[in-house]
Chains A and B, each alone.
Chain A
């Protein structure tokens, strides 16, 4: 079978069962594509030996019958997931050389389902960034290219999105704290879902902001997102915020029937400077859902504009606490000390050398907003605003809205290095449509909608009710069918 890497997860699953290919063949095709993807700088740790062993085992399991859907399917794993015995650095030099002695719950679940890890993927350092430019491994590059410029694949799961869009692996894991799955999926013309907070275990995922972090799949389409999400989620006693709820069969929810469903269109998501094409796609997406029998309703989420400032208090505050563990004592980097240096110098030098500029900035902002005298003014105020942001969503859901349709990002991908001299706050604005969803703990999915005037992909986001990922995926499935997006990047890196 030729062009194995063009398959979706669902297509490969079916091809494995009809005997058209094998896990070993799929894995070799993926490893070849991985090796050829060097110009994209997406794979940062080689796991080909593990992949080959997993593939051989998967073929035996498939032969025996009754293997799970993910069995034999080659995927990439974001460098934020602890993988036993395999370098896990969160794209930071402070974790250089770190090889976890344990496996994250999500990657373990995927391996238990027979998935094959073809490599670890580039990302922003500690998932702090929207362009994959804060990585110690260097920039990941977007497979989409329309002129001389190399573009960002977005962040923080930039390597994951670029790897899937470039068809080097069939899907990848991502994590999303403020948009880090949905924004890169939108920038690379593919699909990404962040489930409800508590759906996926956070155990073994390097922590950024614990009350916002969620893992999710980055895939070629909605069906694949349903298949892979199901394999990733479920109750885990090792994560005290994991929800003890049964995991539905998400793929079975994909009927494409949205008749009678109410889709909310929030007026606050229409922002200044939004490209015309994006407005048009948003209107077209709305019309398509209406044509499919959904009821479209204008809604208001009045606290939307305060989501980003609230996020930039809460996320750094939690990060400053989570990242306190990087002290040069138990794992990772320790600075070389001068004669007479004590433990304080060890901490300070280790953290100055080990953390990049954006991570240092956020840890210090977090330290500031939690410090005595400012805790109420900043941190508690932000948490109150977060309550109001969640209430905005609770109110529209209570009024009968099933899902909310918005753009995924305010623009298409920008050029690598173009934001270098910009104020950090300018970069934060790329998360304006996604960050509300993390603050409210809701599921959100980005589906590719069309191309902008330059030929770069733009995404639309659907936001669902808590724990209703099945319904959300189905609405996204209907939207995907109607949009019919099938553009792919030309493979300039080969």
Chain B
């Protein structure tokens, strides 16, 4: 399958990664190569085979549904690029 420039741009948008127009055709070519490699999987007969959800046959561990942590505002915000008054700060989202 060949990936065109439009698809490459759409994927970049979905991934929220800015890609310059001039780089799109190289990106599309890379996707085409990688997907070509992946397409070998079409040779495998997977009829009736369940997709793996967990490599170990176990139910995910669950803990009691109780509060066991908290009051960590300073630690949570310590690495934020921008925080104000105890909140993460971002560019204006609503007018």
Q: Which residues of A contact B (CB under 8 A)?
A: 97-102, 196-198, 211, 237, 239-244, 303, 305-306, 308-310, 312-313, 320, 324, 327-334, 337, 341-349, 351-352, 355, 360-361, 363-369, 371, 378, 380-388, 390, 423-425, 428, 439-441, 466
Contact = CB atoms under 8 A, between A and B. Distances in A.
Query: What are the 3 closest A-B residue pairs judged by CB atoms, nearest first?
Result: A441-B55, A383-B51, A334-B81
B91 A343 contact: yes
Contacts of A382: 38, 41
Interface of B: 7, 11-12, 14-19, 27, 30-31, 33-35, 37-44, 46, 49-56, 58, 60-63, 72, 75-76, 78-82, 88, 90-93
Contacts of A347: 16
Nearest to B10: A371
7 contacts: A309-B40, A310-B41, A327-B16, A351-B18, A352-B17, A365-B35, A388-B49
A393 to B, nearest CB: 11
B19 A425 contact: no
Contacts of B11: 364, 367-368, 371
A55 B44 CA distance: 55
A425 B34 contact: yes
B33 A425 contact: yes
Given A312-B34, A312-B37, 8 more contacts: A324-B16, A330-B79, A331-B81, A334-B82, A390-B55, A428-B37, A441-B56, A466-B56
A385 B61 contact: no
Contact of B27 (A364, A385, A390): A364
A380 B91 contact: no
A351 B16 contact: yes
Given A331-B80, A334-B82, A352-B18, A365 B41 contact: no
Given A342-B92, A364-B31, A384-B49, A309 B37 contact: yes
A198 B78 CA distance: 30
B80 A330 contact: yes
B80 A309 contact: no
Contacts of A365: 31, 34-35
B36 to A, nearest CB: 8
A330 B38 CA distance: 34
Most chain A CB within a 10 A radius of its CB, from B11, B31, B50, B88: B11
A383 B44 CA distance: 12
A113 B35 CA distance: 46
Given A306-B40, A330-B88, A334-B82, A342 B31 contact: no
Given A329-B90, A342-B92, A388-B44, A313 B50 contact: no
A239 B34 CA distance: 32
B56 A387 contact: no
Contacts of B75: 101-102
Contacts of B17: 348, 351-352, 355, 360, 363-364
Contact of B46 (A320, A360, A388, A439): A388
Contacts of A367: 11, 14-15
Nearest to B88: A329
B34 A387 contact: no
Contact of A363 (B15, B44, B49): B15
B80 A240 contact: no
A388 B54 CA distance: 13
B55 A440 contact: yes
Given A367-B14, A368-B11, A197 B55 contact: yes
Given A237-B61, A390-B55, A466-B56, A313 B80 contact: no
B44 A306 contact: yes
Given A364-B15, A367-B14, A383-B51, A342 B93 contact: yes
A381 B41 contact: yes
Contacts of A384: 44, 46, 49-52
B44 A385 contact: yes
A211 B55 CA distance: 8
A167 B40 CA distance: 42
Contact of A387 (B52, B61, B62, B72): B52
B63 to A, nearest CB: 6
Nearest to A378: B38
A211 B62 CA distance: 17
A332 B81 CA distance: 7
